[in-house]
Amino acid sequence: MQKPIRKAVFPVAGLGTRFLPATKAIPKEMLPVVDRPLIQYAVDEAREAGIEQMIFVTGRGKGAIEDHFDIAFELEKTMADRGRDISVLEATRLGPGNCAYVRQQEPMGLGHAIWCARDIVGDEPFAIFLPDEFMHGSPGCMKQMVDAYTQVGGNLISVLEVPREQVSSYGVIAPGKANGALTEVTGLVEKPPVADAPSNLIISGRYILQPEVMRVLEGQEKGAGGEIQLTDAMATMIGKQPFHAVTFDGTRYDCGSKAGYIQANLAVAMGRPDMADAVRAFAIDLLK
């Protein structure tokens, strides 16, 4: 029996420089894909996987995320008084038992952001979501990972294949034995030069990790880009605990990049009965 995954960490303290000026005053994680912000999709994916407590690692200028998951009393009352349907806001409410916020004072890297949540995570396995990696599929990516976790336990990361020349922008795995969607991980390296990359399988924004990773992060030196890298901390756990990669059955859009963000909007809009026809007609017209 594996310990259940009850908690998820959402690191949202990054600067979002690739989306400036849009992200000067608005957190990148609040950018909408059609009509839901990226962070809402990630929280919904966590809920679908049975996760109960959402832990947000925030920074300066990220207050809109806290407001988004709060009760908007004036808005709800005004809408209710006018007979408007407020069910659209239901998924945005996270009660005090279901959320916690912790501050990363300086954006020192993803590994450091995760370490900031150590006291709230405590001594249990936990999930990590990078909300700008938009995972589109059913069941969701984390549900697929939790199902795999109940079989193999230990640590899991979601991976996907990219053209080899792109690997230097990502964390890359050295793959071992594969069994269906599960692949053993024998090594991990962050942003390797193309020639040194152990594969073209990149880590894609979802993790299930054992709490020991927090103790590794405690003494972690800076890695690639002068940041404290989660990939380096995970690499030291390989061989000590089971470590697997899960190939997501679905589509991932890199919403940290502008092209990926536009693709995600188009893909979601095309799947929405209330707008698919209008968007398709517009796209066909535009392509002419």
For residue 178, the minimal CB distance to ligand UTP (Å) is 27
List CB contacts of 144: < 8 A, sequence separation 6 or more: 137, 181, 246, 248, 249, 250
For residue 42, the minimal CB distance to ligand UTP (Å) is 9
**Closer of 13 and 202 to ligand UTP (Cβ):** 13
Q: What angle do CA 202, 205, 209 make, to 5 degrees?
A: 100
Applying CB under 6 A, does 107 fall inside the site for ligand UTP? yes
# residues near ligand UTP by CB under 6 A: 22
Applying CB under 6 A, does 172 fall inside the site for ligand UTP? no
Applying CB under 6 A, does 14 fall inside the site for ligand UTP? yes
* 253 to 272: interface string for ligand UTP, x by CB under 6 A: ---x----------------
Q: How many whole angstroms separate alpha carbon 186 and alpha carbon 168?
A: 19
Applying CB under 6 A, does 26 fall inside the site for ligand UTP? no
The footprint of ligand UTP on residues 109-168 (CB under 6 A) is 109-110, 112-113, 130-132
List CB contacts of 71: < 8 A, sequence separation 6 or more: 93
Q: 2, 3, 17, 241: which one contacts ligand UTP (CB under 6 A)?
A: 17
From 1-9, 12-20, 86-94, 117-125, span contacting ligand UTP (CB under 6 A) = 12-20
**Contacting positions for ligand UTP (CB under 6 A):** 11-19, 28, 57, 104, 107-110, 112-113, 130-132, 256
